A and B are shown apart, each in its own frame.
Chain A
Amino acid sequence: MSETASLLADAATRLFEEHLDEDAIRRAAKGAWLVDAWTAIEAMGLPLALLSEDRGGFGVDPSEALALLRVAGFYGCPLPVGETMLANRVLANAGLPLSDGAAAIVPAGAGAALSREGNRWRLAGTAARVPWSETIGTLLVETAGPEGRHVVRLAKGQWRTTETAANVAGHRRDTIAFDGVVDAVSPFNRDLLLGSAALGTILIAGALDRVLELTVDHVNERVQFGRALAKFQAVQHECAEIAGEVAAAGAAADIAADGLGRPADAARLAIASAKLRAGEAVGRAVGFAHQLHGAIGFTAEHRLHLFTTALWAWREEHRGHGYWAKLIGDAALAAGPDGFWPLVTEA
């Protein structure tokens, strides 16, 4: 890690430590937008982390910038930091204005259609499970139709919320509709679902780091039969299993971060694998973590669930296991018996 990167990681840690304390996370889990936290995130410049230094970025490698998202995950960050980072990178590359406040992303295939209207464009459609649709300032919509692949930047007022809902962690996920003439349109040759999946993988890895830490702390403190739980071999081995899954999710996050710097077609298999593996790590690691916490971990009062429910939500966002498994399976079967190993090493 470069010196700048480690200073940034420290700064991000302090920021989240202060603004994403347990109380804040609990408020977000009831659907509240964390104004102070978002203000601090913007003040640090996190939404610009993936931009070049002259455009407001930190001047570190993308993988180092993305490490900050892993820190966000460690603190269970419910705010769309990663989405806003990605949106800003896409907007900057497209020569469009950057996000005004927090951004959300609607990838292609989600129900938006772009059509010609005279010499202008019309965007119409709906999107479900959009984070905090009433608070975000910018929506980045990707479309893929007869006109080719595009991104469209919608400003506040260009969409309306038709239904408010929440994910299993309580974070707002709304249904929205939009229909109107749009000007901020640009051809696009990347893939926002893939990018979002990569960011989601990094966030998951960060939250799993936390779940392991909470569990290790708990088994060291909790005494039964006159000994700390940590002294029982069965407990040690379940912790070791969590560590294995957390390591796998961490490797998945690294793969995802690298993938974001590659062309979409080259990175698709790698990011798909990363997202799938991280999702599976959630199931095993969270299962053991709850087991080892006992009944206290099953209460609303204990903080464990703030992370585990977020993990259950995040692993299904940006498409779940079946979608990515099929994509990878198709590629492996198409590669055939002789092409399989080269496919793995090139991923």
Chain B
Amino acid sequence: MERFTFPSPPPSPAAEALRAEVRAFLAGALANRTPLERSESWNGFDRDFSRKMGARGWLGMTWPKRYGGHERSAFERYVIVEETLAAGAPVLAHWIGDRQSGPTLLKFGTEEQKQTVLPRIAAGEAVFCIGMSEPDSGSDLAATRTKAARVDEGWRITGTKIWTTNAHRSNYMILFCRTSGTPADRHAGTSQLLIDLENTPGMTVRPIIDLAGQHHFNEVHFEDALVPAGALIGTEGEGWHQVMSELAFERSGPERFLSSIQLIVELIRALQESESDAARLAIGRLTAHLIVLRRLSRGVAAMLEAGANPSLHAAIVKDVGSIFEQSVPEIARTLVEAEPDKASTSDFNAVLANILLNAPSWSLRGGTREILRGIIARGLGLR
């Protein structure tokens, strides 16, 4: 059996220097953000904020300068990512592009795609969404039915994507679809296309309201929608390989265990005067878990920095991380008696409500717990 080891993150003075800079920036930029807003975690959307991040050189940080990047290390990027999450900054407008769409284009995209799109992501201008899931293809991504047919003018797309976070306010989507054969062919015959959401006739976006009453995700319908030939990302038929690489980026970050950090902060606030030993023990335990998860996650950053494939390690961190973040509201309710209520004037009650309402999604989005465990089991040689 191969033993999984997570590399040790080397000390990075550059990253620590950056940390102070980001904290100072966030303290100012987020001064008026309420705890409830902060508890949105990476679901807070604010194009202005993302542009400011871009202007500071904090997006596309590891990419080559010729594509608008800054050629900094994965550890420096990690600091930006974790500090913005911990502060509850509204990062969604740049999150997906910076985390996975940009890196996918960098790795597989055409020169033209890289030159036109990457600098806009790095500037905080181009918002991305992920076109993977479909009504009949959730965990079973290889069952994708959405079809792109090659025609003289480019590609004609027919099909439906669903749960597409941000589609209603994005500039681009990376679409995973079938460019030949049928769903029975599974991985073969799939490809990725870059869809310009502002210029794709035949595409419609319909909102889906989540259980918290919010509009984050959508259904995106393609009906003979036409995109140019240059929309193909990478190699036709290599979509499966490419989308797996994209998912490794998607799963690799600290957002996979920090989703409920604002509730921990409110819990500490609520318990400031408490004499309770049970409270101390519980807070101590949560803190210990967080410190160790962060170490694991920085190990994944070290793998990214070294150019290694972190899929398996990222799956482990996401699985352990989502158990942790989902445990927080369950623990909080044993320490502070409060009815969850987003409209409450008590920050604790409001944040508790928002965390409770969103927690079920954390072990679904980005690959479910069961799918991650399948990946880990494969890594253990069990399947």
Contacts and interface: CB of A to CB of B under 8 A. Distances in A.
B373 A237 contact: yes
A328 B284 contact: yes
A254 B293 CA distance: 12
B92 to A, nearest CB: 20
B355 to A, nearest CB: 15
**Secondary structure call for the A interface:** helix
A270 B279 CA distance: 20
A252 B277 CA distance: 24
A329 B292 contact: no
B268 A333 contact: yes
A286 interface: no
A332 B287 contact: yes
B268 A244 contact: no
Contact of B268 (A270, A280, A340): A340
Given A239-B380, A251-B295, A337 B287 contact: no
B330 interface: no
A328 B376 contact: no
Interface in B307-355: 313, 316-317, 319-320, 323
Contacts of A280: 285
Contacts of A331: 284, 287
Contacts of B382: 216, 219-220, 230-231, 235-236, 239
B370 interface: yes
A217 to B, nearest CB: 7
B1 A216 contact: yes
Interface stretch (B167-175, B259-267, B359-367): B259-267
Interface stretch (A102-110, A158-166, A318-326): A318-326
B47 interface: no
- Most chain A CB within 10 A, of B4, B86, B313, B377, is at B377
B377 A326 contact: no
Interface in A229-279: 230-231, 233, 235-237, 239-241, 243-248, 250-252, 254-255, 258, 269-270, 272-274, 276-277
A32 B290 CA distance: 40
What interface size band does chain A fall in?
Answer: 35 or more
B211 interface: no
A37 interface: no
B291 A273 contact: yes
Given A240-B377, A273-B288, A336-B268, A230 B383 contact: yes
B381 to A, nearest CB: 7
Given A240-B319, A240-B373, A333-B280, A251 B292 contact: yes
A38 B248 CA distance: 45
Contact of B299 (A216, A251, A322, A347): A251
Contacts, number: 175
B373 A241 contact: yes
What interface size band does chain B fall in?
Answer: 35 or more
- Most chain B CB within 10 A, of A255, A270, A345, is at A345
A255 B266 contact: no
B284 A325 contact: yes
A344 interface: yes
B288 A272 contact: yes
Interface in A128-149: none
Given A328-B284, A328-B287, A329-B280, A237 B296 contact: no
B6 A247 contact: yes
Given A244-B316, A332-B284, A237 B272 contact: no
A36 interface: no
A321 B288 CA distance: 11
Contacts of A325: 280-282, 284-285, 288
Interface in B1-30: 1, 3-6, 8, 19
B271 interface: yes
A298 interface: no
Contact of A337 (B269, B285, B376, B380): B269
B216 interface: no
B118 to A, nearest CB: 29
Contact of B287 (A213, A255, A344): A344
Which 8 A-B residue pairs are closest in the complex by CB-CB distance? A329-B284, A329-B280, A328-B284, A236-B377, A325-B284, A273-B288, A240-B376, A240-B373
Given A247-B316, A322-B281, 8 more contacts: A230-B383, A239-B380, A240-B319, A252-B292, A255-B295, A324-B288, A336-B269, A345-B82
